[in-house]
Amino acid sequence: MNNKRRDFIKKAGVLASSATMLGAVGCNDTSKSANINKGDGKMKLTFQKYELKLKHVFTVAKNSRTTTPDMQVQIHYNGITGYGEAAMPPYYPENPESAAKFYKKLDLAQFKDPFEMEKILDYVDNLDEGNHFAKAPIDIALHDLVGKLMGHPWYRIWGYDRTKAPHTSFTIGIDEPNVVQLKTKEAAPYQVLKVKLGGGNDKEMIENVRAISPEKELYVDVNGGWKDKHEALDMVHWLEDQNVSFVEQPMPKKQVDDIAWLTENSPLPIVADESIHRIPDVLAAKGIYNGINIKLMKATGMRQDHIMITLAKSFDMKILMGCMTATSCSISAAAQLSPAIDWADLDGNLLISNDPYEGVLVKKGKLIIPDRPGIGIKKI
């Protein structure tokens, strides 16, 4: 290792010691005037553990929490920095420590041209099995970097019309009636709410939302919380009368036959979430579900999600794009794909109180993709 690189790593290590110093590793992001020939022509990776602070205690079918572990990643190249992120909720097997272990094995300096995205991301993907969440921020940061080098946001590079970005739902977690009602009041600017069910008080949850918001369109996410297909169908019929648009992951993903039966008999679309990670899962979901919920963290990033959207469309399946609680970094990356989807649940940045970025905005519930290059974020 040469002295220059050792010096850089030493400095990066000092910076990485505090997430509050996140901004310090950023470089000049005025990419439209960037000269890509400046610098040493090597890509360098830095990363920091971050803790997302949730505005409310968040409860889904399996657990409750007030914080979410998160990993922030940067790829530096010739004075330009691409940003990426992995939110790592505790119900998934990865965590910032496993991600850091994975990053220590990566050698991005071997690549001289960030535009060789396929080659670089294949290398990252093949380096180790699994580590999907850890791989996603590398993919996102590389997209951000390449978009900045080109001077264009990814929605433009992919040829999407950003005015076609959908409204996002706002998530109401399982909670006590007064908290559910408070959250529903807070969600007044949003036209669609996504209500978490599967906690044994489903009708009460919906009734508390309806006490505040009688008409609003609802999505529901059961997180695999129902076990009996006949009870599930009864519940779906009841939900249909409550102006619910679709039901996400009604039963555990292993109950494939029960889910297929429910989909066949359901008056509402049944959408896969826990069953969907990467491209082959879209093939497996065909005929079992009506739609899929894609997420950057599950799919290893923007490259795979872009393909999954195309594939699902070819099967005439609906596409919901979801997220974890996260900063505007990964939410803005996801938003670049949003003009191509049917439903958006991209509210993860709205659920935290310590977002270090500004990126995609939400106006009267609609996603507004900024006209900045890359994934469209800037530091606050």
Residues that bind Mg ion (CB under 5 A): 221, 248, 273
Nearer to Mg ion, 45 or 187 (CB): 187
Nearer to Mg ion, 202 or 248 (CB): 248
Helices (H) and strands (E) counted in the chain, each on its own, are 13, 15
What is the SS3 assignment for 275? coil
Could you tell me the smallest distance in angstroms from the CB atom of residue 75 to Mg ion? Answer: 29
Euclidean distance between CA atoms 258 and 254, whole angstroms: 9
Nearer to Mg ion, 23 or 93 (CB): 93
Could you tell me the smallest distance in angstroms from the CB atom of residue 111 to Mg ion? Answer: 35
Q: Are 338 and 344 in contact (CB under 8 A)?
A: yes
Nearer to Mg ion, 153 or 348 (CB): 348
Q: Are 78 and 36 in contact (CB under 8 A)?
A: yes
Could you tell me the smallest distance in angstroms from the CB atom of residue 221 to Mg ion? Answer: 4
Query: What contacts 373, CB < 8 A, 6 or more positions away?
Result: 31, 32, 147, 148, 150, 151, 152, 153
Could you tell me the smallest distance in angstroms from the CB atom of residue 293 to Mg ion? Answer: 6
DSSP 87-130: E--TTSS--HHHHHHHHHH--GGG-S-TT-HHHHHHHHHHHSSS
Nearer to Mg ion, 175 or 273 (CB): 273
Could you tell me the smallest distance in angstroms from the CB atom of residue 194 to Mg ion? Answer: 8
Euclidean distance between CA atoms 236 and 242, whole angstroms: 10
Name the residue number minimizing CB distance to Mg ion: 273
Using a 10 angstrom Cβ sphere, with 0-12 exposed, 13-18 middle and 19 or more buried, the burial of residue 180 is buried
Nearer to Mg ion, 144 or 221 (CB): 221
Could you tell me the smallest distance in angstroms from the CB atom of residue 248 to Mg ion? Answer: 5
